[in-house]
Every structure is written in structure tokens, then in C-alpha cells.
Amino acid sequence: MIRSPLITVMVQAVRKAGRNLARDFGEVENLQVSLKGPANFVSSADRKAEETLYAELSRARPGYGFTMEERGKVEGQDEANEWVIDPLDGTTNFLHGIPLFAISVALVRNGVPFAGVIFNPVTDELYVAEKGQGAYLNDRRLRVAARRKLADCVVGCGIPHLGRGDHNKFQRELALVQGQVAGVRRTGAAALDLAWVAAGRFDAFWERDLSSWDMAAGMILIREAGGSVTDLDGHDKSLENGHIIAGNADMREDLFRLLKKA
């Protein structure tokens, strides 16, 4: 695994936050939960994890700014570097006792993901990547899947739910995709979906209307694992517009063309 000072700082922060999340996951029925929006829950665990990450990363890199799911944007003196943080991606899974959730931390440098860490504290799967240094799951080097035919592929996606997204558009896209691939999966945690693309578990992935903290760490993971990431217009503007499609270069392009037909 990468042992750079930057990755060391990030890993220490997510592991500290992850210990609390793992404990709270074991007592999920006792969590104080507030309703932030339709089907979009925030737990006390979510807020505690974000506070831990903010404290640890602020101490290690005091000049860097932050964009966080709960606290929002915190400007830093170093305008080139920004931490982009989702303290608990897959909150609904977490609150329903489904062990598919993760902490996602990225360092975005001059608007481009430079390093990323995604950590599932229940499975102890730690994904790390740094520009030019490769991508790893724990101590194993990652490469995106090498499949070249959609008919052989398992594709991940996000499904718009209550109060979010264009349901009709998604249904048109899904109808086209499901007839061309070996399987379609939806986990409920976009950060993990992207990490799974980097690990070769998913051959490709697409979703609309995400936030930067859902994607930034996963984007650098996939690129360092040899994959391709764009928005749904084929441009490198996912962090701006919230739309993403990823896979190896061939599968991303084939899926891109298929979705365009919808």
C-alpha cells in the first residue's frame, strides 16, 4: 500500500472515524436520527464521524480548505488544496443494518482529485490512491476489470428514489442497459460503487445527481487503477455537474454510447 505522508494522514483519520462508526453500527437501533429530507437521513454517527475527520485533517494540514456533506464549505488559506469528505456514504444502508457504507475522503488539488481514501469499517476494506502512485485495496494493487464486451459485464448504477432524480429517464436508461449486460447492481453507496470499479468487481458504473464528496475519492481510485472517468457528456466535469460514468476505457465508452440512446 502507498506509505506517503499524505496517505498516512488520510488513513489515520478514516480509521479513527471508522472505529466510532463500527461501534455505532452495532447499536444502530439506539442512534438518534433526524430527517434531513425525503429518504435522506442523518444520524448522530454521521455527524460524529465528520467532526473526527475535520479535527484530524485540520491538525495535519492546517491550511487546507474543506467541503463536507454536513458542515458544508470551510475556506482554507491554501487555495490549491481542499479536503472533500463524506463521513458516511450509504447512510440509509447504515440505519437499516446493511453493511454497505463507507467513509470517503479525497484531497482535491487545483480542482482535480489528487488522493483518495475509501474505508468500510465493517469489512475493514481500505481503498487508497494517490496520483502517480497507483490504487490499492489494503495491500493489494488494483486494476480495473479487463472485459471488453458488455454482455460479459456487471454494471453498477444509482437508482433515483423518493424526491430525487428523473425516474423516467433512469427507467429508459435501465431498459437499454439491462438487455445488453450480464447483470446490473445497486448498492446504495456511490463511493463503494466507484471503489468496486477500481477493484474490478464492477466493470462499469453510472449515476446522476451526485455530490462531489460522493465521487472525488472514487475518481482518483479508478484513474490510478487504469480506468476512465467522465461525466455523462464525456467531459471531465463530474465534480461540477454531479454526473459520472466509469469503467475501463472500452466499457466506459460502450456504456456511454448506450446511455446516449436513452
Binding site for Mg(2+), by residue number, is: 69, 86, 88-89, 214
User: What are the DSSP calls for 7-60, one per residue?
Assistant: HHHHHHHHHHHHHHHHHHHTTGGG--EEEEETTEEEEHHHHHHHHHHHHHHHHH
Q: Let me know how many helices (H) and strands (E) the chain has, helices first.
A: 8, 15
Q: How far is CA 6 from CA 84, 176, 191, 234, 260, in A?
A: 14, 42, 20, 30, 39
Binding site as annotated, residues: 69, 86, 88-89, 214
Q: Give the CA radius of gyration of the chain.
A: 17
Strands 140-141 and 134-137: antiparallel
What nine digits make up the cell of 125?
476494506
Q: How far is CA 44 from CA 35, 140, 199, in A?
A: 12, 33, 31
Q: What is the distance between the alpha carbons of residues 41 and 208, in angstroms, rounded to a whole number?
A: 19
Strands 125-130 and 40-43: unpaired
Q: What is the distance between the alpha carbons of residues 127 and 213, in angstroms, rounded to a whole number?
A: 15
What sign does the dihedral 46-124-226-156 (CA atoms) show? negative
Of 155, 136, 172, give the one whose Cα is nearest residue 252.
155
